[in-house]
Amino acid sequence: MRRLDRDAAVNFIDIGTGKGVCPIDRSDLLNRFHAREANGPMLSGPAAFAALWRALPLLRPLGLIARHAAILAVLEQLYRLFLRLRPLTPAQRACIR
């Protein structure tokens, strides 16, 4: 995604570094993708991906389509399925302990 951000419109934050202050628990951050559009609420899951897509010119059409409630509901179900099937990262396993 960073390669698609030619205009530096997105501020990517690696929560693995432990630097910075965030109002969300680290284990929650590791369990779902989070994003915030300028001065907007914190979004997670497919809504966060849609926000990211809207910030990237190449993916903007996908982000606009994902704003529709029905599309977002389908994406949420697919995202939950993906989260159940994916292997845990070492950082996620450490948070479970």
Mean pLDDT in runs of 10 for the chain (97 residues)? Answer: 75 67 73 84 91 91 95 94 80 62
Check residue 41 and give its pLDDT. Answer: 87
DSSP one-letter string for the chain: -GGG-TT-------GGG--S--SS-HHHHHHS-EEE-TT--EEETHHHHHHHHHHSTTTHHHHHHTTSHHHHHHHHHHHHHHHHHSPPPHHHHHHH-
Check residue 38 and give its pLDDT. Answer: 82
Residue ranges of the domains in the chain? 2-9+24-96
